[in-house]
Amino acid sequence: MTETSKKTPAGTVRGPSRRQALKTLAVGGTAAATLPLWARYAGAQTGEPIRIGFAKHATGIGASYGRWYDRVSQAAVKKINAEGGVNGRPLELVTEDDGTDPKRCAELMEKFANQSKCDLAFGTLFSHVVIGAAPRAAELKLPYFVVSEGHHVASGMLNRWTLQPGITDVKSQVKAMAPFVHDTLGKKVTMIFPDYAFGYDHRDNFTAAIKALGGDVVAQIAIPPTETSFTKYFPKIPRETEVIYHVMIGPGVLTFVKEMGEFFGPSRPEIFGFIDSLEAVNLSSPGLEFLEGTYFWEGMPRYLQPDAPGYVKAYRDAVGLDANGASVTDANDVSTAAHMFGCWETLHVIKAGMEACNYSGIADRQALIEAVEQMSDMPAGPDHPQGAKRFNGKTHQVFGPQYISKVEGGKLSVVHTASIEDTLYPDEVDYTKMSF
C-alpha cells in the first residue's frame, strides 16, 4: 500500500479505494493487512490520507439518495486525488451507514472522531439526521460538513462546527422561485403540500415571498402524509387559481399527478412544482404525461442542456450520467441529479479550506472551520459545476443559482435561472461569534 504515500509523476496521488480495501481483506494473511487502514498510514509523515467520515444513507428512508450521493462523493474524491489531493495528501472516504437515523448518525460522529480517526465528518440529505448528529459533532469538536439543503444551518439551530457550503437551503430556493412564478405564470397561487414541517417550510416561505411581490396565495391545501388518493382535495382549488404550486413527496406522488390530470383534463392552470417530488423518477413514465408543459425547480439540471459548459459535462462524465441524467450503465436508473451535486461541491470546499489553512492534522480542525468561514465567492467551474456560489461565513450557509425547467417532450429544459441575489435573505445567526 506504499502507493498511497507517493505522488506520481503526473501529479496525482492515490487514495486507498474500496476495491483495494476489499482486496486487502482477500489476502488477509499478511501482517499489514491485519491492521485497519488508518493504522497502516500512521507511520507515514507525509502522504497519509485525510480521512473523511462519510455518514451515508445506505439503509432507511434515504437509501435511494444515499446510493447516488455515494457515487458522486467517490467520483469527487477520485478527481481531487487525481489532481494531487490536498496539500499532496489523498482524500479517503470512511463510509458508514447512518441508517437515515439521527441517533445512529450521532453515534457515527463518535466513531469517526474516536475510533476511525477521521479528520472530519461529511453527511448527507435528511434534515432530521443532521439536526440529530450536529450537537454530538460539536461536543467532539469535529468539523461536520452537511449536504442536507435544510434551513436548520442558517436558522441558527446548529453550531460553529457544522457548515453547509455545498448546497443551498430550502428557504433560499423557495424565495427565488417567487419572482418567476409571479412574473411569468400567474399572481394567484394555490399551494398543495404535505401536512408536516417539510410542507410548512414551503408554505411559509413562498407565501411571504409572493406577497412581497404583490401576488396572493388564494388557497393552502395541506394533505395528510399517509394519503394515497387525492381526488377529494382537488375541488378545494379555487376557480380563480392561476398557478398551482405543489411539493408532494413519497410513494403517492405518481397517483397525485395522475389524479390531478384526470381532474383538470385539457384546461388547467399553470403548474409549478419542486423536483423533490419526482427526483430519480423517469419523467417519461406512463402516467406522467400530464406534466408536459409544467414547471419544476431543479437544484441542478437533470438533463444535459444544449448550452452546458464543459465542466458540467466533465462532472456528469465523472459521475457516470447520460444525457437524461440516468446512469450510463442503465438508462432506467435515474439519478438524484437535483441534489447530489452538493456532495461534489462540498468536498471541493473542504479541499479549498484545508489548503487555505495549510491543514496538517486533527489539531487544525478549528483552523479549517475558520478558513471556510472566511470564504465568500466561488466561481463556477470544475469544482462548482452547479454554478457560482457565495458562502456566508456568519450563517455557515452557501447561496447559489436556482434553475426552473419546463417539461418538454418528457424532458426538463431550463427556462429560467434565478440569480444568487434572488436567493438571499437577511442573516438569522452569526456563528462566528460563538465559541468553539
**Which residues are at the interface with another protein (CB under 8 A)?**
18-19, 21-23, 25-26, 28, 34, 36, 56, 58-61, 63-64, 67, 70, 94-97, 99-104, 116, 126, 128-129, 194, 196-198, 225-226, 228, 249-255, 258, 280-282, 285-287, 320, 326-327, 329-334
Residue with cell 411571504: 208
Distance CA 197, CA 416 (A): 28
Distance CA 233, CA 115 (A): 52
How far from 302 is each of 146, 278, 289, 399, CA to CA, in Å? 22, 11, 18, 20
Of the two residues 121 and 253, which places its CB atom closer to another protein in the complex? 253
Of the two residues 32 and 213, which places its CB atom closer to another protein in the complex? 32
> Please, what is the minimum distance in Å from the beta carbon of residue 84 to another protein?
25
> Please, what is the minimum distance in Å from the beta carbon of residue 327 to another protein?
6
Nearest of 380, 397, 369, 360 to residue 149 by alpha carbon: 397
Burial class (CB in 10 A: 0-12, 13-18, 19+), 274: buried
- 7, 17 in Cβ contact below 8 A? no
Of the two residues 126 and 295, which places its CB atom closer to another protein in the complex? 126
In sequence order, what DSSP letters do the residues of 189-206 get, joined into one string?
EEEEEESSHHHHHHHHHH
> Please, what is the minimum distance in Å from the beta carbon of residue 116 to another protein?
8
Of the two residues 128 and 187, which places its CB atom closer to another protein in the complex? 128
> Please, what is the minimum distance in Å from the beta carbon of residue 325 to another protein?
12
Of the two residues 23 and 211, which places its CB atom closer to another protein in the complex? 23
> Please, what is the minimum distance in Å from the beta carbon of residue 364 to another protein?
25
Identify the three-state secondary structure at position 379: coil
Strand partners, 377: 390
Strand partners, 270: 243
- 190, 217 in Cβ contact below 8 A? yes
Nearest of 127, 411, 419, 124 to residue 275 by alpha carbon: 411
Q: Which helix (H) or strand (E) holds 264?
A: helix 253-264
Q: Which helix (H) or strand (E) holds 333?
A: strand 330-334
Of the two residues 19 and 433, which places its CB atom closer to another protein in the complex? 19
Q: Is the dihedral of CA 153, 156, 159, 163 positive or negative?
A: positive
> Please, what is the minimum distance in Å from the beta carbon of residue 70 to another protein?
8
Residue type, 165: P
Phi–psi pair at 402, nearest 5 degrees: -125, 145
Of the two residues 196 and 436, which places its CB atom closer to another protein in the complex? 196
Q: Which helix (H) or strand (E) holds 67?
A: helix 63-82
Of the two residues 61 and 314, which places its CB atom closer to another protein in the complex? 61
Of the two residues 321 and 349, which places its CB atom closer to another protein in the complex? 321
Distance CA 337, CA 305 (A): 13
> Please, what is the minimum distance in Å from the beta carbon of residue 139 to another protein?
18
> Please, what is the minimum distance in Å from the beta carbon of residue 373 to another protein?
30
> Please, what is the minimum distance in Å from the beta carbon of residue 280 to another protein?
6
